[in-house]
Structure 1
Amino acid sequence: MHALLSLRASSLVGIAVAALWGAPTLACDRAALTAKYPALVGRTVRLAQDGESPPYTFRDAGNFETMRGLDNDLAVATFKCLGMKTETKIGKWSGLLPAVIAGQADVMWNNLYYTPIRAQQVDFVTYVFASTGALVKAGNPKKITALTDTCGIKGVAGLGTVEEVLLHKTSDTCVAAGKPALEIATYPDKPSGMRLVQAGRADLMLTDGGFAGNVAKTNGAEFAQAFLIKTNYKVGPGITRTFAGLQPAIADALQQIQADGTMKELMVKYGVDPSLMLPVEGFTQ
């Protein structure tokens, strides 16, 4: 069984080790990977996730002790290829990277953006671009296909997010062109934003592209994704520097998982656009 532990403040609660479960069928060359990294075989990786970030990590509705999601499944596939085990440590997203830095976990694999500042403290392996998605009612009644179609509409985004900034910039551009400004509101959490769209109090919700795509895929009777904006931000796990050989091993395994089609398969499964995939790249200082 997959072990789920908790990260509480600066301490860990519970001790358990489990073999990986539920990984997709792989075409990776496990023999070659384990021969290249024999010191990792059978060892346990402490994997930090929040379990609250669909489609990246979330708890299974039928079994609360089971983790699902694109990032979770990629981690499962990666460590299975390397012949490793995992402990999954659950905590608030904001505390996951500090837990890796403090030595309480080995890898944060939970929709983490690579930045040079973060890379001063942990290593990275990136494989996908971040994106912004536009969530609308099913059928896209306002026929919105790009930001240029949003002048005069009611748009919502998370309070203090880059999406809120983007809505305001778009509104300023509309006004400068002699078009109506956007009517902009904010929401405290994604379900609140979705309810605004459902109730017709918003025409469009700007949010994480993976989230928007997943909602449109799993709840197509009520929602659609109007458009997707690819950013320049690279995403991938943040990895401790105290676990010798772990970062290059993750990079090698992910390269195989990407090449054999497993990564694309999982992205499609969770509603994340495969066009966001980028060549696997490692960053270390």
Structure 2
Amino acid sequence: MNTQKRTGPSWLMVASIGIAATLALSACATAESTQSNQKAPSTGDVDKAAAAALPAKYKDAGIIKVASDIPFPPMEMFDENQNLTGFDYDLAQALGAKLGVTMELQTQAFDSIIPSLQSGKHDVIMSGMNDTPERQETIDFVDYLHAGFSILVPAGNPDKIATVLDLCGQEVAVQKATVQAEILRGYDAQCTDAGAGPMKLSELPLETDVQTAVRAGKAVADVVDSAVASYAAQTAGDGEFFEVVRDPANPAGYDPVYTGIGVLKKDTELSQALLLALDSVIADGSYAEILAKYDMTDYAVDAAGINLGS
């Protein structure tokens, strides 16, 4: 996903009282609790063209089931009352309103999130998923963000990490099934030429697990979407646990990519309906408001599109 420079959030989130609290809340959350605060669409917000393009099965059901790896702040997370919040959640509610249905986020582990679509358990994915050519072999993306990756280190940067090549030969943690591991392995030759050897990558189930590993000294850094890195640096432990490495040569983060809503290739009508709904959300200013709420304005797409990451 994405790069970012966050200012302090104006709302109280679980992450702002530390990773341990986030883990505690997420551990007791159920699929039912992730749905409890999700809104029914407002008929006044419906976009006629988008709603007309939506396949009948979703209109009849009144719901689109969204697979989401919760928590993944600031994309999807729980507040202090265990209600869902986050950028993906807010955008999903806005899209649902345009389509005249409820977009219901349901917890799904990231490493099984595409199979959850293939099995029919879910209809779409909204989970900060990067649009890559490899993933496009299986699913299509309705893209809504564009940004890079950042390096998250303990506060004070004790290992003096300044660029991605400073991670060569070091223990580095990433979330399992994300594209960060693949990108970092792309530096193996440069690391070997520098005499330090390739990075020693640990792939952990949740981003909160990755951050915990860094705090515990089991990894020198977490390489993650820039929005996530910036949010963690500013909120975890009231901003005392982490900092983001600022590389002057890569001010927007490393390897900027698109992030999108994942839809099975056979569901082209659903993709087109979501694209029309996203166009409408952009046009009426809701998209800009949601980006600003989470200090993600720098990661806006110039225009919505399908499979822009090719």
TM-score in terms of structure 1 length: 0.69
**Displacement of 1:75:** 1.0
**Displacement of 1:181:** 5.5
Within a 5 Å distance, the mapping from 1:90-239 to structure 2 comes to: 90-116=107-133, 118-119=135-136, 122-129=139-146, 131-140=148-157, 144-148=161-165, 150=166, 154-158=170-174, 162-164=179-181, 167=184, 170=187, 172-173=189-190, 176-177=193-194, 184=200, 186=202, 188-189=204-205, 190-199=207-216, 202-219=219-236, 220-227=239-246, 229-231=253-255, 233-239=257-263
Identity of aligned residues (%): 25
Aligned counterpart for 1:255 among listed residues 254, 279, 293? 279
Is 2:172–2:219's contact at 8 Å kept on the other side of the alignment?
A: yes
**Displacement of 1:266:** 3.3
Is 2:51–2:100's contact at 8 Å kept on the other side of the alignment?
A: no
Bigger RCO (CA 8 Å, 6+ sep)? 2
Matched residue, 1:78:
95
Aligned counterpart for 2:48 among listed residues 34, 41, 47? 34
**Displacement of 1:81:** 2.4
Q: Kindly name which structure, 1 or 2, has the bigger radius of gyration based on alpha carbons.
A: 1
Matched residue, 1:26:
none
Farther-moved stretch of structure 1 (236-245 vs 89-98)? 236-245
In 2 relative to 1, CA 138–276 (structure 1 residues): closer, same or farther, beyond 3 Å? farther
Moved over 6 A (4+): 16-19, 241-244
**Displacement of 1:241:** 6.3
C-alpha distance in structure 2 between counterparts of 1:54 and 1:97, whole Å: 20
**Displacement of 1:280:** 1.1
CA RMSD of aligned residues (A): 4.2
Question: Higher strand fraction: Structure 1 or Structure 2?
Answer: 1
In 2 relative to 1, CA 142–89 (structure 1 residues): closer, same or farther, beyond 3 Å? closer
C-alpha distance in structure 2 between counterparts of 1:276 and 1:95, whole Å: 27
DSSP-derived class of the 1:52 partner: coil
Question: Which residue identity lines up with residue 188 of structure 1 in the other structure?
Answer: L
Farther-moved stretch of structure 1 (91-100 vs 208-217)? 91-100
C-alpha distance in structure 2 between counterparts of 1:160 and 1:104, whole Å: 19
Residue correspondences, number: 263
C-alpha distance in structure 2 between counterparts of 1:269 and 1:84, whole Å: 24
Aligned counterpart for 1:58 among listed residues 70, 77, 81? 77
Question: Higher helix fraction: Structure 1 or Structure 2?
Answer: 2
Is 1:163–1:207's contact at 8 Å kept on the other side of the alignment?
A: yes
TM-score in terms of structure 2 length: 0.65
Matched residue, 1:47:
66
Is 2:111–2:177's contact at 8 Å kept on the other side of the alignment?
A: no
Matched residue, 2:25:
none
Structure 2: tracts of 5 or more residues without a match: 1-28, 247-251
In 2 relative to 1, CA 135–88 (structure 1 residues): closer, same or farther, beyond 3 Å? closer
